Structure 1
Amino acid sequence: MLNTIERRQKIIDKVNELSRVDVAQLASEFNVSTVTIRTDLNDLSKRRLLIRSRGGAVAISKITKELSVKEKHCENSHIKEKLAEAAVQLINNDELIILDSGTTTEEIAKLLQNHENLVVMTNGLNIATELSHLQNSEVLMTGGTLRQKSLSFYGRQAEASLNNLRFDKVILGVDGVEISSGFTTHFEHEATLNRLMCNISKEVIVVTDSSKFGRSGLYIIDSLDSIDTLITDNKIPSQYIDYFQSKNVKLIIIDVD
């Protein structure tokens, strides 16, 4: 059996190789208790050799920096506009939809002026501001606690507002897309709310530029095979195209060259 130093070195190697590791799997592999593995991960996290996450750990190199809404507006703005143009084509009159908070979904909200009889739910303050100009549709907000960095609402009140509701489509922007960890975000309560949004919607549409592939936020929203439609640009890595096609996920790839 490996000693503590050897085991922890193996854990570092594994998390850097796989991007994300699970406590139970590590305990089984190294034939030690889950308590021992948690102690290992906590120690390695304190030394900034990995980042603890719920049920495991994530490689530091795979964690993306969270940008403010103002910073996000400046990042790949021309690509987001094109992605929004593609996404709005999937929204039909008379539908019930959820628009998650974010700058890409904000671009989608700007393009809904010609739609009629929509019911649009959002947890984004910036999204609601854009939707307030709609003349022939109903706009709902989740309420909750406002997170100023993302201009999004979260928490029990936001989650409770979705109870007993059902929607045709949810459209999400994400912070990371990775085969091993799924689609992710930086904020735990946002991941919980997004997961609920997906569960109450008939169709899950993820809209993200190609820079998010191979990167990860700290908190998992859901696995990639739970997505029904993915809209991205033509710089998406080829292995992700193969993966989504194998999972029968509809791919809409926008040319941004």
Structure 2
Amino acid sequence: MTGSRDTSQRRLRISELVRQHGSVQVTALAELFGVSVQTVRKDLRYLAERGVMARAYGGAIDSNAVGGPVAEPAYEVKRTERLEAKRRIGRLAATLVKAGDTIAIDSGTTAIQLAEAMPNIEATVVTNDFGVLTALTPKNNVDIVMLGGELRRKNMAFYGGLTVDALDALHVDVVFLGVDGFDLERGITTHYEPEAMLNRKMIEAARKVVAITDSSKFGRICLHRIIPVSGLDALITDEDAPDEVREASRQLGFDLLLA
């Protein structure tokens, strides 16, 4: 009876974790509960069959995310959430920017950390994010191209037809892409459809695509897909990246940089 009780308690705890975080990873759960990966997969299969969650590559997601987006956190929450990891990621991403480069920086709190860390060198930055603009303004050697449009106050960035059209005549060396959801099967996703449209346009204009995200986004799936993971040239994240992502970097051929 003890084994059965332990299994029930573990599955209840897994259900609580997926509701709290929106997603869970097999390897992290196995380590947390001190059981095998196979045991966790059985747990997830059991819970998925009962509609508690939906299976995803390397783990599971909240079943509500299948029919609609994972809830978007408030901007104030995102600015402080996992801040130290975002700072490390931003600093590492900034080392990729060289004098003479033209880069695009997507919206997002990790993108702001990249802008904060970017050296004051002769480079050009294209962005639609108000926070990125604010961080770069004191760096007088950096030329800034601000994409206009309608301000979305929920994440303090500009979107719309004007924003997308402004990219038609632009070519950039690298686009640094923020991430709301990162799933190996369902790709890189976002909460907001105009953002997905703009991101795809940025990618079309770029020679190289670099995703910047902390590891909390792995396994999350939002409603609007931007690109498959295979469309990345590089991924910059923190050292908590799960084994599945590390293996995918080898199989799909994108560089994985850990901050």
**TM-score bin (small chain):** 0.7 to 0.9
Given residue 67 of structure 1, which amino acid in structure 2 is its aligned partner?
P
TM-score norm. by structure 2 comes to: 0.75
Indicate which of 214, 217, 221 corresponds to 2:219: 214
Given residue 171 of structure 1, which amino acid in structure 2 is its aligned partner?
F
Indicate which of 89, 98, 104 corresponds to 2:95: 89
Post-superposition offset of 1:227: 0.5
1:69 aligns with 2:75: yes
Indicate which of 54, 57, 72 corresponds to 1:16: 54
Given residue 192 of structure 1, which amino acid in structure 2 is its aligned partner?
M
Other structure's SS at 2:240 match: coil
The corresponding residue for 1:137 is: 142
The corresponding residue for 1:39 is: none
Given residue 121 of structure 1, which amino acid in structure 2 is its aligned partner?
V
CA distance in 1, matches of 2:224, 2:195: 9
Post-superposition offset of 1:84: 0.7
Distance 1:50 1:12, change over 3 A: farther
Other structure's SS at 2:55 match: helix
| Percentage of identical aligned residues | 33
> What does 1:140-159 align with in structure 2 at a 5 Å threshold?
140-159=145-164
Post-superposition offset of 1:12: 9.6
CA distance in 2, matches of 1:183, 1:126: 22
- Specify every segment of 5 or more residues in structure 1 that has no aligned partner in the other structure, as ranges: 1-10, 20-48, 52-57
The corresponding residue for 1:229 is: 234
Taking only aligned residues, the RMSD between alpha carbons, in angstroms, comes to: 2.1
Post-superposition offset of 1:83: 0.6
Other structure's SS at 1:246 match: helix
CA distance in 2, matches of 1:124, 1:183: 19
> What does 1:141-220 align with in structure 2 at a 5 Å threshold?
141-220=146-225
CA distance in 2, matches of 1:109, 1:163: 23
CA distance in 2, matches of 1:17, 1:99: 32
Other structure's SS at 2:54 match: helix
Post-superposition offset of 1:192: 0.6
CA distance in 2, matches of 1:17, 1:205: 27
CA distance in 2, matches of 1:147, 1:12: 38
The corresponding residue for 2:86 is: 80
CA distance in 2, matches of 1:76, 1:67: 13
Post-superposition offset of 1:253: 1.3
> What does 1:106-125 align with in structure 2 at a 5 Å threshold?
106-112=112-118, 114-125=119-130
CA distance in 1, matches of 2:70, 2:96: 29
TM-score norm. by structure 1 comes to: 0.75
Tell whether the 8 Å contact from 2:93 to 2:114 is kept in structure 1 after alignment: yes
CA distance in 1, matches of 2:122, 2:67: 46
Post-superposition offset of 1:59: 5.1
CA distance in 1, matches of 2:64, 2:143: 45
